[in-house]
């Protein structure tokens, strides 16, 4: 699936109207979204270069015991990605990686926006033990619908990629206004998009992810 449609791209990219370029737009969207997801860290963490919830359903991730934080009187497990729409199952191991212990959903609260598991102070379960692959989390993450800002950033990258394909093999462009270097075209994601992604969408990662 895609977070941006060709029709939405037409609305966001100046100078494009009608459906004549929809095939090219769809191709560049399919190129832009994995680039952005990889830049934001999704490919490294989940193995899937996608921020789309449909591609991140039932994702299984493992966390070391050292990933647990103690903050303001409660234990916290940062999942390293956001948004997290559902934590299907959280399991603990006694050290043999068999994950025989299922942590009750009544013992924690999922912060979907920040992608964190907050263990309740009154929980019967205490996540204090250490070791690699201590926790096994089955979760669904990513965007079911992209925020407007993210759609604009994808569209800006699509626009950039369209220009890059159009000028492939050239070193400069010229017009009545003069010539311009194509050094910027060598960047698959425009600098302004990279800066915006780094502010809002870059995954924090998590110490102890196995």
Q: Which residues does 148 contact at the CB level (< 8 Å), separation at least 6?
A: none
Average pLDDT for residues 123-144, to the nearest whole number? 89
pTM higher than 0.85, yes or no?
no
- The enclosing H or E element of 198 equals helix 191-200
Residue 1: pLDDT band with limits 50, 70, 90: confident
The pLDDT score that the predictor gives to residue 49 is: 93
- Asked if the model's pLDDT at residue 53 lies above 50, the reply is yes
Q: What mean pLDDT value characterizes the chain? A: 86
The pLDDT score that the predictor gives to residue 168 is: 52
E strands within the chain? 59-63, 69-71, 74-78, 84-92, 101-102, 108-111, 116-119, 135-141, 172-175, 178-181
């Amino acid at each position: 699936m895609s977070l941006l449609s060709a029709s939405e791209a037409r609305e966001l990219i100046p100078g494009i109207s009608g459906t004549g370029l929809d095939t090219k737009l769809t191709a560049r969207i399919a190129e832009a979204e994995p680039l952005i997801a990889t830049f934001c860290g999704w490919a490294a963490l989940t193995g899937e270069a996608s921020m789309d919830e449909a591609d991140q359903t039932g994702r299984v991730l493992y966390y070391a015991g050292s990933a647990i934080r103690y903050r303001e009187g409660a234990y916290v497990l940062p999942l390293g990605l956001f948004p997290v729409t559902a934590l299907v199952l959280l399991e603990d191991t006694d050290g043999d990686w068999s994950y025989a212990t299922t942590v009750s959903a009544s013992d924690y609260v999922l912060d979907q926006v920040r992608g964190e598991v907050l263990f309740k102070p009154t929980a019967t379960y205490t996540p204090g033990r250490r070791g690699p692959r201590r926790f096994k989390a089955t979760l669904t993450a990513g965007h079911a619908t992209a925020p407007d800002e993210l759609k604009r950033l994808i569209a800006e990258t699509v626009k950039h990629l369209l220009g890059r394909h159009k000028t492939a093999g050239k070193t400069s462009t010229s017009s009545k206004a003069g010539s311009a270097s194509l050094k910027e075209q060598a960047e698959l994601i425009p600098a302004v998009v990279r800066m915006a992604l780094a502010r809002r969408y870059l995954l924090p990662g998590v110490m102890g992810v196995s």
